[in-house]
């Protein structure tokens, strides 16, 4: 059977940098608290006029450019996001039109911070089964627009941006996706959510005034489930591929909290220096965090041919997943 291979990566983030010192002026917090509890030092924030596609599109174009593939060869466009330009039409269709992927299948998926891994899993199935030849998977988020800037529990955590990969079906290559494992537990949906703005509670002034249209998180409870789930799903995808933990050359975890990343790395016994961390510069960019990290590593030339790369993410739903590939 054909294997889905990543042939290009790209990313784009807003120019505006919001530092912890800036946040000290907005809410009752300190740089010391944010750095010691999360590892975040600064994050990128979209301007008033910028939306998801302003970053998703350049990220996609950079991935296509690296792959040397024209947009019209893409026959599947997936955009993973919970902060699309508009509730509908899907942002993936804006990307599809802008890159000239005429007639391609295009849809958005909602799996919060795990969205990119879900997108990877879907694209993998399409490419292996012959339903598509060239897939573009974008993970992007502009959560700053749905953040309550008076809530110190959440406003210090998130950042905006997008990352993208181009995947090709390849019958010859040893490299490519070795496995993707995806899971969910909807019983825990209340831990991390935007209560209003959907059909249960359509946009209303009352909800806006009660701050119900913004992100709400029970951080501490989410933290505990995150560590356990990320370790379990990473273990699962490695076992399914018949690989040992010490064979992982790069572990790219979702960048939600440095303490989560370190705890998972310890549980998985990832070799020292083989976990990629950039949370200090971007904060938690949700669906964008794994593809942004992957693109940074790739462009820095730090992933070598044949390297085993493990990605894992966790988020609202709750949903979690891991993807494993040979570079
Ligand atoms: O990406 C999707 C998945 N998301 C996650 O996995 C996030 C998981 N959770 C976390 O990363 C952490 O739970 C947080 C960073 C959100 C919070 O860290 P924590 O160590 O769990 O803190 P906490 O929520 O237990 O709060 C401890 C204290 C509280 O004060 P009291 O009640 O002990 O007096 C908070 O009010 O820290 C206080 N606090 C803050 N203090 C200064 C909460 N946020 C802040 C803040 N600055 N920004």
Q: Ligand 1: does its nearest atom lie under 6 Å from the Cβ of 38?
A: yes
Q: Ligand 1: does its nearest atom lie under 6 Å from the Cβ of 289?
A: no
Give the integer Cα–Cα distance in Å for 303 and 325.
12
Contact in structure between 94 and 138 (CB atoms under 8 Å): no
**Other C-beta atoms lying within 10 Å of the C-beta of residue 172:** 7
Structure tokens at 290: 């794994």
Contact in structure between 132 and 17 (CB atoms under 8 Å): no
Q: Is the pLDDT of residue 166 over 80?
A: yes
Choose which residue among 219, 255, 259 to substitute to test ligand 1 binding: the one with the highest number of ligand atoms within 8 A of its C-beta. Answer: 219
**3-class SS at 234?**
helix
Structure tokens at 2: 């054909």
> What's the confidence (pLDDT) of residue 188?
96
Contact in structure between 325 and 291 (CB atoms under 8 Å): no
- Whole-number Å distance, alpha carbon 220 to ligand 1 midpoint, is 6
Beta bridge partners of 275: 251
Give the integer Cα–Cα distance in Å for 101 and 104.
6
- Whole-number Å distance, alpha carbon 169 to ligand 1 midpoint, is 43
Contact in structure between 12 and 61 (CB atoms under 8 Å): no
* pLDDT tens track for 243-263: 999 999 999 999 999 999 999
> What's the confidence (pLDDT) of residue 218?
95
| Summary mean pLDDT of the chain | 96
Give the integer Cα–Cα distance in Å for 52 and 170.
31
Q: Is the pLDDT of residue 1 over 80?
A: no
Q: Ligand 1: does its nearest atom lie under 6 Å from the Cβ of 193?
A: no
Cα angle at 6 between 269 and 310, to 5 degrees? 10
**Other C-beta atoms lying within 10 Å of the C-beta of residue 13:** 24
Mean pLDDT of 131-154: 97
Q: Ligand 1: does its nearest atom lie under 6 Å from the Cβ of 284?
A: yes
Eight-state DSSP code of residue 292: H
Contact in structure between 14 and 48 (CB atoms under 8 Å): no
Query: Pairing relation of β-strands 216-217 and 192-193?
Result: antiparallel
> What's the confidence (pLDDT) of residue 170?
85
Q: Distance from CA of residue 282 to its chain's centroid?
A: 12
**Nearest one of 71, 257, 57, 256 to 140, comparing CA atoms:** 57
Which residues does the annotation mark as catalytic?
A: 113, 254, 284
Helix, strand counts (H, E) of the chain? 11, 13
Q: Which residues contact 42 (CB under 8 A, 6 or more apart)?
A: 17, 18, 19, 20, 280, 281, 283
Q: Ligand 1: does its nearest atom lie under 6 Å from the Cβ of 24?
A: no
Contact in structure between 65 and 106 (CB atoms under 8 Å): no
Give the integer Cα–Cα distance in Å for 169 and 103.
19
Q: Which residues contact 212 (CB under 8 A, 6 or more apart)?
A: 195, 196, 201
**Nearest one of 325, 1, 45 to 175, comparing CA atoms:** 325
Which residue is closest in CA terms to ligand 1's atom 12?
A: 219
Give the integer Cα–Cα distance in Å for 282 and 291.
13
Choose which residue among 191, 223, 226 to substitute to test ligand 1 binding: the one with the highest number of ligand atoms within 8 A of its C-beta. Answer: 223
pLDDT band at residue 129 using 50, 70 and 90 as cut-offs:
very high
Q: Is the pLDDT of residue 221 over 80?
A: yes
Rg (CA), the chain: 19
pLDDT band at residue 204 using 50, 70 and 90 as cut-offs:
confident
- Whole-number Å distance, alpha carbon 224 to ligand 1 midpoint, is 12
Beta bridge partners of 5: 168
Choose which residue among 112, 215, 218, 220 to substitute to test ligand 1 binding: the one with the highest number of ligand atoms within 8 A of its C-beta. Answer: 220
- Whole-number Å distance, alpha carbon 292 to ligand 1 midpoint, is 24
Q: Is the pLDDT of residue 300 over 90?
A: yes
Which residue is closest in CA terms to ligand 1's atom 28?
A: 153
Q: Does pTM surpass 0.95?
A: yes
- Whole-number Å distance, alpha carbon 30 to ligand 1 midpoint, is 12
**Residue appearing with tokens 């210090």:** 156
Percentage of residues of the chain with pLDDT beyond 70? 100
Long-range Cβ contact pairs of 186-189 (< 8 A, separation 24 or more): 186/317, 186/318, 188/225, 188/317, 188/318, 189/316, 189/317, 189/318
pLDDT band at residue 203 using 50, 70 and 90 as cut-offs:
confident
């Amino acid at each position: 059977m054909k294997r889905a291979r990543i042939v290009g990566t790209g990313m784009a983030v807003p120019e505006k940098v919001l530092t912890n010192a800036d946040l000290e002026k907005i809410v009752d917090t300190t740089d010391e608290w944010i750095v010691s509890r999360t590892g975040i030092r600064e994050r990128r924030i979209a301007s008033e006029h910028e939306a998801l596609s302003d970053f998703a599109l350049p990220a996609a174009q950079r991935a296509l450019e690296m792959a040397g593939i024209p947009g019209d060869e893409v026959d599947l466009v997936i955009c993973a996001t919970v902060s699309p330009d508009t509730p509908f039409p899907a942002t993936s269709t804006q990307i599809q039109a802008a890159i000239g992927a005429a007639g391609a299948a295009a849809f958005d998926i909602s799996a919060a911070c795990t969205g990119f891994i879900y997108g990877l899993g879907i694209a993998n199935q399409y490419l292996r089964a012959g339903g598509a030849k060239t897939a573009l998977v974008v993970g992007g988020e502009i959560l700053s627009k749905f953040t309550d800037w008076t809530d110190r529990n959440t406003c210090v955590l998130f950042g905006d941006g997008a990352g993208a990969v181009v995947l090709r079906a390849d019958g010859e290559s040893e490299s490519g996706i070795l496995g993707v494992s995806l899971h969910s537990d909807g019983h825990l949906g209340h831990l991390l959510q935007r209560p209003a703005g959907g059909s249960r509670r359509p946009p209303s002034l009352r909800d806006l005034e009660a701050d119900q249209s913004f992100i709400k998180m029970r951080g501490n409870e989410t933290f505990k489930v995150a560590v356990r789930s990320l370790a379990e799903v990473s273990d699962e995808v490695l076992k399914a591929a018949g690989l040992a933990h010490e064979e992982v050359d790069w572990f790219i975890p979702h960048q939600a909290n440095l303490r989560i990343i370190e705890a998972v790395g310890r549980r998985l016994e990832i070799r020292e220096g083989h976990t990629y961390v950039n949370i200090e510069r971007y904060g938690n960019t949700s669906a964008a965090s794994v593809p942004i990290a992957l693109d940074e590593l790739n462009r820095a030339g730090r992933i070598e041919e044949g390297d085993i790369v493990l990605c894992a993410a966790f988020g609202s739903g709750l949903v979690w997943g891991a993807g494993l590939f040979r570079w």
